[in-house]
Amino acid sequence: MLKSWKLKEIVLLSILSVVFAVVYLAFVHVGNLWAGLIGPIAYEWIFGIWFIVSIIAAYIIRKPGAAFLSEVLAATIEMMIGNAIGPRIILVGIIQGLGAEAAFAVTGYKRYDLWVLMLAGFGAAVTSFAYTYVMGGLAALSPTYVATMFALRATSGMLIAGLGGKILSDLLLRTGALEGYALARQGRAHG
Amino acid sequence: MTFHEMNPTVKFVTVTCLMFGLAFMFNPWTPLAVFIGTLVLQSLFANVSWKRWGLFMIPFLLTAIGTLWTTLVFGKASSGEVVFVLFGNNVTEENVMLAVTLALRVLAFTALSLLFTLTTDPKRFVYSLMQQGKLSPKIAYSVFVGFRFFPILKHEMMQLYETHALRGVRLETRLDHVRHVPKLLIPLLAGSIRQAERIAFSMEARAFTGDKRTTYEVVPVTRSDMLLASLLLLLFGVSVWIGIR
């Protein structure tokens, strides 16, 4: 999978992962504060934040594996800079990354329109929710409550990660820092 | 024989297996036994500051409390005697048991995670993943780059604050700084992306190809790793037994 990757793309991937690992950690604390008050649903509406690096990396680099690897790297770096969720977070990263990657795989890594990015956010929401369902024992909750949780997470995934990721990347494109990466090249090709 | 010396990949796999196993246990005794057992093993085979441990535990204690009452209030309707009514939801004995189980599960997960986190050197973990886990050096070394990049990022952020202050942004209190963070994101990312390009060039200039490499620091798998892993698995076995008994 890594054969077609240039070193500078891999390093970009890991730098993006560091920046977002910090953002992710900050929001874990925001979520934790809430969670004591209103329970695990506190995380749901901001859950998209934790998928965003997948969408940004895939949108900029446009190679198979970008969505998956960036999320796993972000999780690993989160663990390295100190997070009590510990090794579990890598597992979470793998699962979320697979969900986002699936959307790009289905479209053959050829389309990076807004709807594909939103689909990736949705995909990450689906796989990560399956994980929460098992590990958090959501079977113990009433189905309506579980459905509400999922709806919130899916919406958050599509809007914050999908739409938000696109907006952020397009803003970055305007700074000129992305010259030499697929996003800038493709942008020029389309005129 | 300590958890600090234990092979990180073996430790990672064992701890993860235990957590997965716990997810399928729906009685309060198993997670409780795992929680206590983990603490016992930690005090026997690791030298961890309990003060640090306690500080890390606080947010998860909050999560556990949140989980407890969410499961009570929004619990699945179940037949059985109603023990009490909470915010209009009939709470049965089964609901109470489940709520306690899930809250204890959060605590058991955290205890296991902390056993890993507080005894593992991140660098050794990545080395071990490369040596035992067949992780590609390309990825392993970019994780190192990422990890090393953290202080640079902090420095860049300080610099941005100063630049923005020079241009007349009011940044006096802590709150001002926090509120200004969203405005830093784009310049911070743009700067980081340019840095990434330079780092990649300098890695290539030093003949880093990403092929399989020899390493100075060898992280072995020894007999005591297997012993510690067995102890953890034994703890899980005993806890499951306590649960079904």
Chain B: give the shortest CA distance to residue A127, in Å.
Answer: 16
- Whole-model pTM: value is 0.84
Let me know how many helices (H) and strands (E) chain A has, helices first.
8, 0
Q: How confident is the model over A19-37, as a mean pLDDT?
A: 78
Q: Tokens in use for B244?
A: 């079904």
Q: With residue B91 as reference, give the H or E element that holds it.
A: strand B89-92
A71-99 pLDDT tens trace: 999 988 888 776 656 778 888 899 999 99
* Nearest residue to B103 via CA among B60, B132, B140: B60
Closest partner residue to B117 (CB to CB) among A36, A84, A175 is A84
Query: What class is the A7-179 domain?
Result: mainly alpha
Q: How far apart are CA B208 and CA A6, in angstroms?
A: 12
- Please tell me the predicted confidence (pLDDT) of residue A191: 44
Higher pLDDT, B125 or B67: B125
Which of B102, B117, B144, B198 is most worth mutating to test chain A (most A CB atoms within 10 A of its CB)?
Answer: B117
Residue pairs between chains A and B whose CB atoms are closer than 8 Å: 192
Q: How far apart are CA A151 and CA A129, in angstroms?
A: 10
Q: How confident is the model at residue B90 (pLDDT cuts 50, 70, 90)?
A: low
Closest partner residue to A7 (CB to CB) among B12, B126, B204 is B204
A145-187 pLDDT tens trace: 889 989 999 999 999 999 999 999 999 999 888 888 888 887 6
The amino acid occupying position A123 is G
- Please tell me the predicted confidence (pLDDT) of residue A61: 92
Say yes or no for a CB contact (<8 Å) between A80 and B122.
Answer: yes
Q: How far apart are CA B225 and CA A39, in angstroms?
A: 38
- Please tell me the predicted confidence (pLDDT) of residue A128: 93
Choose from A125-129, B170-174, B241-245 the range with maximum mean pLDDT: A125-129
Say yes or no for a CB contact (<8 Å) between B62 and A36.
Answer: yes
B225-237 pLDDT tens trace: 999 999 999 999 9
Q: Tokens in use for A2?
A: 């890594």
> A4: exposed, middle or buried (C-beta count within 10 Å: 0-12, 13-18, 19+)?
exposed
Q: Tokens in use for B133?
A: 């886990």
* Nearest residue to A107 via CA among A48, A166, A72, A67: A67
Per-residue burial over B109-120, b if 16 or more Cβ lie within 10 Å, else e, is bbbbbbbbbbbb
- Please tell me the predicted confidence (pLDDT) of residue B63: 80
Contact status, residue B1 vs residue B227, Cβ threshold 8 Å: yes
Task: Answer whether B100 touches A (CB < 8 Å).
Answer: no
Q: How far apart are CA A75 and CA B132, in angstroms?
A: 20
Task: Answer whether B55 touches A (CB < 8 Å).
Answer: no
Provide the 10 A C-beta neighbour count for residue A138: 20
Task: Answer whether A139 touches B (CB < 8 Å).
Answer: yes
Task: Answer whether B122 touches A (CB < 8 Å).
Answer: yes
Q: How confident is the model at residue B88 (pLDDT cuts 50, 70, 90)?
A: low
Task: Answer whether A169 touches B (CB < 8 Å).
Answer: no
